[in-house]
Amino acid sequence: MTRSFPAGAQSSSGSSSSSDSPLPPVRQPLSSGPGRAVVTGGAGFIGSHLVELLLQGDYSVHVVDDLSTGKLANLAAVKDHPRLTVTIASVADADVAQRTVADADIVFHLAGVVGVRRLAEEPLAVMQANLHSTESMLRACSLKGVAVLVTSSSEVYGDGPVPFVEGSPVRPGSTEGLRGGYACAKAMGEWLASAYAEQNKLPVVVARLFNTVGPRQTGDHGMVLPRFVQQALRGEPMTVYGGGQQTRCFAHVRDVARALLGLATSATVPGRVVNVGSAMETPVRTLAEMVRDAADSSSSIRNVPFGDVFPEGFVDPPRRVPSLERLLAANGWLPQTPLDAIVAELVELARSCAVRSETRLEVEAESGALRS
C-alpha cells in the first residue's frame, strides 16, 4: 500500500575531558523481537533489502521515502505484502517524521543522499538532506521514546589511519573541500545521536557503512561496481579514476542488511558506533579486471585523472578498511560473501536484464509493424 504525507578536545589541563570519554556499551537491544518497524529510505538500494529481511522476520514495516534516490521498483518483490506500508514523503519534514514514529517500535534511519558524483554536482542538496533528515528523525524518536538505528558512513574517517576504529577521532577534511562536507554532515548526525542518547536517554546505535554492493545498486551517482559491470557488458572502456591502486572493502548488501538487523536485536553491542562492512581489501583496478573477466569482455581499462572527473580539491582516500571487532562482538559473525561471487552475480543479473530489454523492444517493434 502506498500513501503520501503532505509536506507540512581536550581540557585545559591537557587531559581528556569526561565528555570525550568512551561511551558505554549498549546492553538492551533496540528491538526485542518482531514489531512495528519504520525504515526511512526503504525504497533505496540497502533499505529495500532490509525491508525484505524484516518482513521475513515477521515485522510490520512502514517505509518512508521521498524517492529522490530510491525507487518503488526496488520493493516490487514485496509490494503486495499485507504487513508493508509505503509513504512517499521526506522525513526531513518535522510533521512527517513525527507521524512516522507515532506507532513505531523501532526506526531504521537509512534516508539520505549518497554518491561522490552527486556530491560533486549538488553539494548543498547532499549535505542538507543528510543532516536535516537525521536531525528530524532523532528529534521525533526522542519525543516518542522510539529506539533508532542510524546509518552513517565510513567517509567520517577521512584520511585517518587504517584500519578505521570506531573510537578514533573523525577527520572529515578541509572546509574548502566538498567531500569533507558530506563526511561532516554524517559525523554531525552521529554527534546528535549521541547527544540525544546521553541527554534524553534515547536508545540509539549508529552503523557506519562501508562500501556496500549488490542487486539494485546503480552507477548513476558514481558507484563503481555497477558502472564497471555496465561498461564491460557494453564493450566500452572501463574507466578507473586515478591510478587504480586505491583500495576498498566491498560487502554484499544482503550481508549488510542482516548485520543492521543484528545490531538492532543484539544485547552485546560494545559501543554506540559500529562499523558495518567487509574487511576484504581490493584495489579498484583489480575490481575492474575481475568484472571484465566475469563478463568475458574485450573492454579496455582506462585510467582517468581524478581531476578530470571531480572538482579541484576533491580527495579520494587511498585505503578504506574497517575494524570489525565491534560488529563481531555484537552479531557473532561478519560479512563474508566473496567479491568474485558478488561480481559474478551482478554480471549475470545485468546480462539477464539486458536480454529482457532487448526482447521487449523486439516485441514492441513487431506489434508496431503489425498495426501499420
Residues labelled as active-site residues: 182
Q: Which residues contact 58 (CB under 8 A, 6 or more apart)?
A: 34, 83
Q: How far is CA 283 from CA 8, 224, 290, in A?
A: 46, 12, 11
Other residues' Cβ atoms within 10 Å of the Cβ of residue 369: 8
Question: Residue 247 in 3-state DSSP?
Answer: strand
CB 110 within 8 A of CB 165: no
Note the helical H segments in 161-223: 178-200
d(CA 47, CA 51): 6
Question: Residue 67 in 3-state DSSP?
Answer: coil
Q: And the C-alpha cell for 328?
A: 563481531
Pair type for strands 204-209 and 84-88? unpaired
Q: And the C-alpha cell for 141?
A: 524518536
Nearest residue to 216 via CA among 227, 229, 226, 228: 226
Q: And the C-alpha cell for 319?
A: 585505503
d(CA 302, CA 288): 10
CB 40 within 8 A of CB 133: yes
d(CA 5, CA 314): 37
Residue 68: Cβ-neighbour burial (10 angstroms; 0-12, 13-18, 19+): middle
CB 209 within 8 A of CB 259: no
d(CA 320, CA 223): 15
User: Angle formed by the axes of helices 224-234 and 284-294, to 10°?
Assistant: 40
